[in-house]
Structure 1
């Protein structure tokens, strides 16, 4: 008993000294933490890449195992195929979207004042816009539409300029980014090659240090793994269907930038709740540089396609795969965005779905 008391006293003393040291030298500790985080970031990104690529790799392995039996060759072919697919998709997305966004940004920034004035007048005199405002009992005579739109476009142009300058600053660190990305890819490949070995090693650590909690920890990991896989696969399917549908309808309506906007909307659709509105805003801004009438048609088309996708396609494609009620989806997205920005929004829903499933299961057990 005395030995146990002495051990706890030693733990308390060590903990107190550590807390005092962190508080006393907080700035230095913060600097070390930032440096360590920066150094570890390529490996964190590599682990995330490995997790996403592993979904593709499993699909390739299941396909190849039906025809071949050499597991080593199948593993290498699956890794190469999954990596190639992942890199190809990212390259295609960036290669199509970024040049178009830069082109549109320059066209907006260097729009002639006479053209800007013409766009504002066209919007103010547009019959469809006036009819929509009248439907909501909004008196257009008391609204300085031209002045309001001029301020709005000025703010948008300023924002576009800031974004563009940020992109140019980011390009200056291109080589550091390339090196970090290379390290992440190499680390991801090592994880994919030795994923079974890493799993066995992790299980040994649990047996050695947390034997009583091993089954509980494995169960929690499997729940969140299942939640993330279902969420990412279903969201990618939904985004692809939405992008194709929008491209077909925009092509029929002969709207400009059909391919670029469809891909952009498909990518933003991966972000739950707010993604569709982000794609709508950016797409409308792009088309506005061509025609006000086309912008109005695009907004109507996007809204109709989005409603069709949400009410008809989404329940069939995604269904109850995530298993999280809509109310909690909104809560999860709001909290995730506040804590981690875009990354927080992306992971908030599967994390919340995993927690919801665990809480629901444990509640049913207790009842």
Structure 2
């Protein structure tokens, strides 16, 4: 009788799951639309959580620096450690932004002015190159005669293009304004979360264990511990890696006498935060700047870029970042492409550590199942 009741319960649960799955798939479009609205409403809180998590890495450094305040006999001094650490975090960010505005923007403006001043010469060089190529290929005369330009049609199409671009510009402006507002709200929320992180985590754990099975909560906490360790190590490593690459780039450009050293090193360092694709785009962008400003030193800069990339790929990245994720090159590329295609820039940044967490959990479960089956697979 008991076995029959268990079988009946199991069958009922399976039928219920099947019905729920069918209903979800049947109304998938509406569910996704509703989920999108919900995410849009809570996006400031999501921004706040993300900002607080990243800034917490820097806040912990300041809390260690101010750890002497914990030994004070005055209660007010002990209570000031957290607010003082948060204040130092945002002061650090302000200093970074001001330094970028003071050092990088003038160099960028100078580079643009220099490029604009030399643009007629660049155009003339390109024109001479095209004319020489056309002469060498024997296309002169007949080639240009076969090209007919309908200026009225070009003007009409240009007007249509401009008309079609206005709604997109308006939509972009609206989305960008919403993004700025969400970020501002997220920063305020992140300040509250940083100030009360232990209390918020305690409330979350109480809610989990109160409403969900204990075994499930234990597994979820284990997953969160692995995720926190992986993400913390990854983001810390990427920031340190970017700083090292930027410092090496700055030193190399100064030694080689290449102008705009701070701007070039900032481009290479910041783009290094985006795995695989970032360093390539940063190298191309910085090379174009050097080629247009000081073309006689472009070859030296290419050699410097090759040296920096080799040092980063062989020495810096594996030691600083690689140990925190435990993924091979092919899996990093897979996680990067998958995260970027699904979630854009956010997926590009967070895709690798997220996949590393999944890989760690799957590997642990696989080893446990093999051990239970008493199976040993030799490499």
2:186 is equivalent to residue 184 of structure 1: yes
Instruction: Tell me the equivalent position of 2:199.
Output: 197
Q: Distance in 2 between matches of 1:333 and 1:230?
A: 17
Superposed displacement of residue 276, structure 1: 1.0
Instruction: Tell me the equivalent position of 2:92.
Output: 85
Instruction: Tell me the equivalent position of 1:115.
Output: 122
Which of 54, 63, 80 aligns to 1:61? It is: 63
Change (3 A) 1:120 1:325: farther
Alignment of 1:281-296 (within 5 A): 281-296=284-299
* Secondary structure of 2:324 counterpart: coil
2:78 is equivalent to residue 76 of structure 1: no
* Secondary structure of 1:227 counterpart: helix
2:261 is equivalent to residue 258 of structure 1: yes
Larger radius of gyration: 2
Which of 237, 241, 256 aligns to 1:238? It is: 241
Change (3 A) 1:39 1:94: farther
Change (3 A) 1:106 1:51: same
Alignment of 1:136-215 (within 5 A): 178-210=180-212, 211-215=214-218
Whether the aligned pair in 2 keeps the contact of 1:42 and 1:183 (CA below 8 Å) is yes
* Secondary structure of 1:321 counterpart: helix
Q: Which runs of 5+ in 1 are unaligned?
A: 126-140, 145-164
Instruction: Tell me the equivalent position of 1:300.
Output: 303
Change (3 A) 1:106 1:184: farther
Alignment of 1:22-33 (within 5 A): 26=30
CA offsets 1:134-172 (integer angstroms, 9 cap, x no match): xxxxxxx88x9xxxxxxxxxxxxxxxxxxxx99999678
Change (3 A) 1:122 1:253: farther
Alignment of 1:33-44 (within 5 A): 34-44=36-46
Instruction: Tell me the equivalent position of 1:348.
Output: 351
CA offsets 1:296-340 (integer angstroms, 9 cap, x no match): 321221111221232233344345232212221111112122222
Moved more, 180-189 or 107-116: 107-116
Whether the aligned pair in 2 keeps the contact of 1:60 and 1:81 (CA below 8 Å) is yes
CA offsets 1:218-255 (integer angstroms, 9 cap, x no match): 00011011000101111111111111111111111111
Instruction: Tell me the equivalent position of 1:51.
Output: 53
Q: Distance in 1 between matches of 2:108 and 2:331?
A: 34
* Secondary structure of 2:274 counterpart: coil
Q: Distance in 2 between matches of 1:170 and 1:92?
A: 29
Instruction: Tell me the equivalent position of 1:274.
Output: 277
Instruction: Tell me the equivalent position of 1:225.
Output: 228
2:335 is equivalent to residue 328 of structure 1: no
Whether the aligned pair in 1 keeps the contact of 2:111 and 2:293 (CA below 8 Å) is no
Instruction: Tell me the equivalent position of 1:154.
Output: none
* Secondary structure of 1:272 counterpart: coil
Whether the aligned pair in 2 keeps the contact of 1:336 and 1:347 (CA below 8 Å) is yes
Alignment of 1:130-141 (within 5 A): none
Change (3 A) 1:15 1:355: closer
Q: Distance in 2 between matches of 1:202 and 1:208?
A: 10
Superposed displacement of residue 17, structure 1: 7.0
Tell me the TM-score normalized by structure 2: 0.72
Whether the aligned pair in 2 keeps the contact of 1:122 and 1:292 (CA below 8 Å) is no
CA offsets 1:265-303 (integer angstroms, 9 cap, x no match): 100001111111111111012122223332232122111
Whether the aligned pair in 1 keeps the contact of 2:47 and 2:182 (CA below 8 Å) is no
Superposed displacement of residue 108, structure 1: 5.7
Q: Distance in 2 between matches of 1:343 and 1:267?
A: 15
Superposed displacement of residue 359, structure 1: 2.2
Superposed displacement of residue 42, structure 1: 2.1
